Amino acid sequence: MEVLALQGSPRLSGNTQTLLNAFLGGLPSEAQIHRYNVSKLNVHPCTSCYACKNLGRCVISDDMKLLYPALAKHPLVIIATPIYFYGFSAQLKAVVDRCQTFWNNPQTRIDSRTSVLLLTGGAADKSRAGRDAVESCARIFCECIGAPLKHTLAALGTDANPAVEQQELLTQAAILAKELSAN
Ligand SMILES: Cc1cc2nc3c(=O)[nH]c(=O)nc-3n(C[C@H](O)[C@H](O)[C@H](O)COP(=O)(O)O)c2cc1C
């Protein structure tokens, strides 16, 4: 099984990476993991030029050329992001907006795949407002790429309780990965 993992935090040893590591660690050894730290890529924000609508493809030349084929076809897509002001990290949001081309050209993607959202947030978020806001953005994005969002796991309250200490959740992430790879 090919798995695309987009890690949206610029902190390469932070909470989001920890949660993503736990998830990927649950995949079988034969899984082919295509993992990207998005902050290390050169991805320009969408300029709303509408080339994707008029020409059928994005005309900005940058590292999205690595991600477009993977976003279009890998059966399992993992979106890992810290909550930034109730949204994705800016680095990940640039990737998300550049996927407007899949919205305009749905024939360029394979449908009926699966996405998983891995979230981390500093606040305890008792009202779930932060988690729900990011999840609803992720839901529309995952629809757009043809891999509807099936699961969300959230390490919240990381200011007081870093993800590395949320052992139960990390175990849950590994179990979810194992289950998804068995399907
Ligand atoms: C710019 C910025 C905005 C943030 N906004 C929120 C927020 O709205 N809600 C929240 O719970 N945490 C917020 N946080 C905290 C991060 O989500 C939290 O520390 C997260 O675990 C960081 O993950 P990382 O260690 O992978 O970078 C914010 C952090 C930054 C830097």
Mean pLDDT, 10 residues at a time, the chain of 183 residues: 97 98 97 98 98 97 98 98 98 98 97 97 96 98 98 98 98 98 86
Testing ligand 1's pocket by substitution, the residue of 85, 119, 134, 169 carrying the most ligand atoms inside 8 A of its CB is 85
Closest CA relative to residue 56, chosen from 95, 98, 107: 107
Measured in Å, residue 126 CA sits from the centre of ligand 1 at 15
Helices (H), the chain: 15-25, 51-54, 64-73, 90-98, 100-104, 129-145, 167-182
Minimum-distance ligand 1 atom for the alpha carbon of 86:
8
Q: What is the pTM of this model?
A: 0.97
The DSSP code for 25 is H
Testing ligand 1's pocket by substitution, the residue of 84, 89, 132 carrying the most ligand atoms inside 8 A of its CB is 84
Measured in Å, residue 86 CA sits from the centre of ligand 1 at 9
Place of tokens 């988690």: 131
pLDDT at 126: 93
pLDDT at 183: 74
Residue nearest to atom 8 of ligand 1 (CA): 85
Torsion of CA 8, 42, 140, 17, to 10 degrees: -10
Residue nearest to atom 22 of ligand 1 (CA): 82
